[in-house]
Amino acid sequence: VSQLLSAPIAQYLAGLTPADPLIDELGRTGRARDLPLVDEPTGALLEVLVRASRATRVLEIGTAIGYSGLWLARGLPSDGTLITMEIDADRAAEAREHFRRAGLGTRASVIVGDAARMLHKFAGPFDLIFNDGDKRQYEPLLEGLVALLAPGGLLVTDDVLWGGDVAPDPDDAPPGDPEKVRLVASYNRRLAADPRLRTVILPVGDGVSVSVKM
């Protein structure tokens, strides 16, 4: 559920977002278990970005149970591949089962491990990278992720508005999670200042940045 929009607008947008029965099931599971999955409009954005960029190799950091992965995979052509990384082995196993049920076969691989330790093992280039893991790793991983991106490739990062808390509160109310807000705000400044990237931040879901590598 978007934290940036009023509930009626968020519901309206979610209702306009075409999904499929498995995606809907995972969305319900995520809400019932309070898992931090992207919302439907963010999922739809991921599919559109994969299609618009004609991506065939996609990398995701932070699989959870495979919800955003299913949206990413929907955008891929039949010879496209998704590699997604998850530190929690139980969540990774659930994601594998969901990808199996989606009929993705060998087109989707779930790698269990810490993205910070595993990233150097991946061979680029990737056409699109979806960064949705540990917020403390957003900045430390940035160099490695940019290196793995193809020229013209997209780095898409979730939660960059952190419920709107990245913007200073006019009444000086303290943000809900000051440490996360500091980390995300610092990452946003790095993206904006990086001469290799052009970045736009969209108020979709919890805030999604889309950076193109020049």
Q: Which residues bind ligand SAM (CB under 6 A)?
A: 36-38, 61-62, 64, 67-68, 85-88, 91, 114-116, 132-134, 137
In the complex, what is the shortest distance from the CB of residue 53 to ligand SAM, in angstroms, rounded to a whole number?
18
- Report the alpha-carbon distance of residue 129 to residue 150 in Å, rounded: 10
In the complex, what is the shortest distance from the CB of residue 112 to ligand SAM, in angstroms, rounded to a whole number?
9
Q: CB within 8 A of 197, min separation 6: which ones?
A: 146, 155, 191, 211, 212, 213, 214
Of 163, 211, 214, nearest in space to 189 by CA: 211
In the complex, what is the shortest distance from the CB of residue 63 to ligand SAM, in angstroms, rounded to a whole number?
6
When CB distances to ligand SAM are compared, the closest residue is 62
How many of the other CB atoms lie within 10 Å of CB of 164?
16
- Of the two residues 47 and 86, which places its CB atom closer to ligand SAM in the complex? 86
How many of the other CB atoms lie within 10 Å of CB of 201?
17
- Of the two residues 66 and 171, which places its CB atom closer to ligand SAM in the complex? 66
Of 63, 21, 71, nearest in space to 42 by CA: 71
- Of the two residues 97 and 169, which places its CB atom closer to ligand SAM in the complex? 97
In the complex, what is the shortest distance from the CB of residue 179 to ligand SAM, in angstroms, rounded to a whole number?
15
- Of the two residues 27 and 193, which places its CB atom closer to ligand SAM in the complex? 27
